[in-house]
Amino acid sequence: MSYQQTPKIKIDLKSKSSERIKMVLFLNSLHPARDKRLFYKEASALINAGFYVKILGPYQDSEYPQKNLEIVGMGTSRFRLITLIRLLKYGLQSYTNIIQCNEVDSWFIGIIISILRHVPIIFDAHEFYPKRGLYKNINLVQKTLFHSIRFTMNFLSMYTDHVITVSKQLAMEYSFLKCSITTINNYTIPRSIKRHLLENLQKEYVGHPLLIHTGLINQERGMQCILYGIKTLKKTFPNVLCLIIGKNSDSPKIHKVVKDFIDKEALNENIKFIDWLCYNNIPEYLQLADIGLVTFNVANYNNRIGFPHKFFEYLTAGLPVIVPLGSELEKIVTIHQSGQAISLDDPEEFASTVKKFYQILQKDPGFRERIRQVAQIYFNWEREAQKYVNLYMKIV
């Protein structure tokens, strides 16, 4: 079995000096090495605080962006069990002072390593796993699965030093766990604008209402809402444009349905898909946009309570955000007057909301800056990063 690995940095990790560097081992069974939360936020925060981070995961990664970082890509497999076996093998071969696991199954592997190596372990919970994929109508099989996962997590927590959650709501859901819980909110990192790239994009995209959706898109995340919403909006703004930056994870059959709809309704110039971009190039597109979209299906429990990274990126860029009615995001945009919650089944409401915010932006140049200030004051990653690093300092 082959894998790619970053060049090893010669650091005496086992030195008895009080100034010795602390080694953190991230175990990923699913998340990519450059996951926004795990890599750009958490790993970077630890490295900046003087830790050495090693990330193990099922991917290939040959870029080495900074020192005190090692990425071991163990290749991909159709079978998750093989990935877990690899995680266990390379995890046991890795020196570490503390382990962080980022999925439930990698948590299980981490506990084995933690017990054998006598090191503390943290689990970073990104969603409420017992209700993952569950909707309003729950059958007997789903109820059984819910209780099984809940029991498993409760058991694993008995051997865990700490659990991190991405929101207070999620922390409340996990109150049944047997270890301490800390919320590290999924706020975004303000990033600089590359002016030369922005100027090039302005030539192409400025001059009409511009909506943006970043990240994974599919039927579950509002593809249908966007299609019918733009179709309706085009009656008022013929040149309206929605940029979808990311991958459509639907089946090839659904891809064809989407393409056929766009062709039939002559929306090829109104809806454009852009493949995955480098994380640091996204701010330029956000700077050009007028409105951000978070359009996931709130019948899914984790969607309903979720705080996706894209939402805070939109606010940081000064964009009013359209969010689903009945989501936790509705409370934020209402309290801070930074967007509006709508029924995603109503294209007319979608169109009228876009029209309203576009007119506000045209008449009030300070509107975007007020939203940026909201993000800076209430949803700043720097404070969360300090909480995260302090937690590690206490444990190791």
The terminus-to-terminus CA distance of the chain in angstroms comes to 33
Rounded to an integer, what distance in angstroms lies between the CA atom of residue 393 and that of residue 384?
14
pLDDT in tens, 214-247: 988 888 888 999 999 999 999 999 999 999 998 8
pLDDT of residue 64: 56
Mean pLDDT within 340-369 = 95
Using the predicted structure, report yes or no on whether residue 194 has a pLDDT greater than 70. Answer: no
Of 189, 227, 229, the C-alpha closest to 343 is 229
The CATH class for the domain spanning 195-378 reads: alpha beta
pLDDT of residue 92: 96
pLDDT of residue 370: 96
Mean pLDDT within 273-297 = 88
Using the predicted structure, report yes or no on whether residue 139 has a pLDDT greater than 80. Answer: no
What are the CA-CA distances from residue 250 to residues 18, 61, 196, 216, 299 (Å)?
52, 25, 34, 10, 18
pLDDT of residue 10: 41
pLDDT in tens, 103-124: 999 999 999 999 999 999 999 9
pLDDT of residue 350: 96
Using the predicted structure, report yes or no on whether residue 133 has a pLDDT greater than 80. Answer: no
Using the predicted structure, report yes or no on whether residue 60 has a pLDDT greater than 80. Answer: no
pLDDT in tens, 199-218: 666 666 777 899 999 988 88
pLDDT in tens, 256-284: 999 999 999 999 999 999 887 777 788 88
Using the predicted structure, report yes or no on whether residue 299 has a pLDDT greater than 70. Answer: yes
Of 264, 250, 259, 343, the C-alpha closest to 299 is 343
pLDDT of residue 373: 95
0.85 exceeded by pTM: yes
Averaged confidence pLDDT in the chain:
88
CATH superfamily of 4-187+380-395: Glycogen Phosphorylase B; (3.40.50.2000)
Mean pLDDT within 54-83 = 82
Rounded to an integer, what distance in angstroms lies between the CA atom of residue 213 and that of residue 245?
6
| Higher-scoring residue by pLDDT: 275, 55 | 55
pLDDT of residue 200: 67
pLDDT of residue 9: 38
Of 260, 314, 264, 310, the C-alpha closest to 287 is 314
pLDDT in tens, 10-39: 444 444 433 578 999 999 999 988 888 999
pLDDT of residue 11: 41
Would the CA dihedral through 179, 183, 186, 188 be positive or negative?
A: negative
* Confidence label for 135 from pLDDT (cuts 50, 70 and 90): low
pLDDT of residue 141: 80
pLDDT of residue 16: 43
* Confidence label for 79 from pLDDT (cuts 50, 70 and 90): confident
Contact present, 392 and 24 (Cβ < 8 Å): yes
**Full DSSP string of 91-157:** HHTS--SEEEE-SHHHHHHHHHHHHHHT--EEEEE-S-GGGTT--SS--HHHHHHHHHHHHHHHHHH
Mean pLDDT within 1-18 = 40
- Ranking 31-35, 47-51, 330-334, 381-385 by mean pLDDT, the lowest is 31-35
pLDDT in tens, 148-190: 999 999 999 999 999 999 999 999 999 999 999 999 999 988 7
pLDDT of residue 3: 36
Answer yes or no: same fold for 4-187+380-395 and 195-378.
Answer: yes
Using the predicted structure, report yes or no on whether residue 78 has a pLDDT greater than 50. Answer: yes
Each domain of the chain, given as residue ranges in start order, spans 4-187+380-395, 195-378
